Amino acid sequence: MKQLSPLALQALVFALVSASFTTIYLVQPVLPVLQAEFGVSISRAAQTVSMVILGVALSTLVFGRLADMYPVKPFIAVGGTVVAAAGIACALTGSLDAIIALRLVQGFGIPALTTCLAAYLARNLPVERLNVVMGSYVSATVVGGLGGRLLGGWIHPPLHWRYAFVTASVMVLATAAAAVALLPAEARPAGTSDTGPGYLELMRRPDLLRTFAVGFGSLFVFGATFNYLPFYLSAPPFSADTNRITLLYLTYIVGVIIAPLSGRFSNRFGNGLTMILGSLTFAAALLLSHVPHLGVVCLSLGLACAGFFAIHAAAVGSMNRRLSSSRGRANSLYILWYYLGGSAGITVMGYGFKHFGWAGVTGSGLAMLALLLAAGVRELRSGR
């Protein structure tokens, strides 16, 4: 890897991953606008987010396997083209059904960028450099998630939400092209996956299933909470506009701080205790969000981010500590269940919001967090 300096490589990884995650959450702040413009239900508008998450979940294992067997640069090129083209099509179409279908296509293409890039780095970097560069990768997922929300929310008022799709598509295409052009030549893939337990064998392990369930449940609550936030805040007593709602998404940056701190806390006190504290913090945040004051809601969202990233970091740490081989497969399975949870949460809580308002979202979230709390207690008792 001599052609790129360490700083340049980190910057390239950060740019591609953050652009990819920007695409996922692009429309979240303007969901009430989409609902009004197309005259659809809240749950239907929310599918513009849940479908891209579902696409990511369904294609992650496929690209994880392909990246172990073949050079990844062609996948990055195709993925960048597909995601960007579908984004441009979203900006041009006048049908919400078409947008939802195109968002699913974008979801299918995103792992060609993110999962394949992670495989490339693992295959080509020495361990001491891999840890540093993967730090940039994780930070980029947080910044990209925040950036997508800010892009979609701030571009809409002076222009139109469609311009956000154009901007994100250009970012994805440019960063994918840069990765294909600048990433050094790849080490030859083995052609077959490494030895160790396969996907089915990993899924039969109760301890790993519990970890996958924690990943599922954490994004189930977190994704839906932030997805229905614009509808909650745009209605009385808040009646907040898109700009003000978008500003509240800045609380997401709490994850940049909490994720590494949670890792250090877990190393010292155990992943089980971290899951327990994260679940309790998240539950308190959901209850606090019912206070009809925008400042208090902002505080609750910060606590929600802290709780979520603590749970997420502890689950990943627990899983990798249990494995001596097949970590790549196990992490792919975790990502699969993680994003399935995000898609399921948006769908399930959509019905809750329709029938019970914000209480339907937080009530469903508290029920799921009770299960995550139980998983944390079990993890603590196991000494992890």
pLDDT, tens digit, 9 for 90 and up, residues 71-112 = 889 999 999 999 999 999 999 999 999 999 999 999 999 999
Residue with tokens 């339907």: 360
Q: What is the pTM of this model?
A: 0.79
Is residue 120 a contact partner of residue 186, using CB atoms and an 8 Å limit?
Answer: yes
Q: Which residue has the higher pLDDT, 155 or 325?
A: 155
- List pLDDT tens digits, range 34-65: 999 999 999 899 999 999 999 999 998 888 77
Poorest-confidence range of 67-76, 137-146, 213-222, 339-348? 137-146
Identify the structural domains of the chain with CATH numbers, from first to last.
1-193 (1.20.1250.20), 196-384 (1.20.1250.20)
Lowest mean pLDDT among 164-178, 233-247, 323-337: 323-337
Taken as a whole, the chain contains a residue count of 384
Please tell me whether the peptide bond between 237 and the residue prior to it is cis, using omega within 30 degrees of 0.
yes
Give SS3 for 259. helix
pLDDT of residue 243: 83
Q: Collapsing DSSP states into helix, strand and coil, what is residue 41?
A: coil
* Average pLDDT estimate for 15-31: 92
Read off the tokens for 103.
């968002």
What pLDDT is stored for residue 1 in this prediction?
46
Contact between 251 and 298 (Cβ < 8 Å): yes
Q: 203, 173, 176: which is closest to 120 by C-alpha? A: 176
Supply 130's token pair.
């891999």
Q: What does pLDDT average to over the chain? A: 87
Cβ count near 39 (within 10 Å): 8
pLDDT of 156 reads 63
Mean pLDDT along residues 320-342: 79
Q: What angle do CA 221, 312, 227 make, to 5 degrees?
A: 30
DSSP characters over 136-154: HHHHHHHHHHHHHHHHHHH
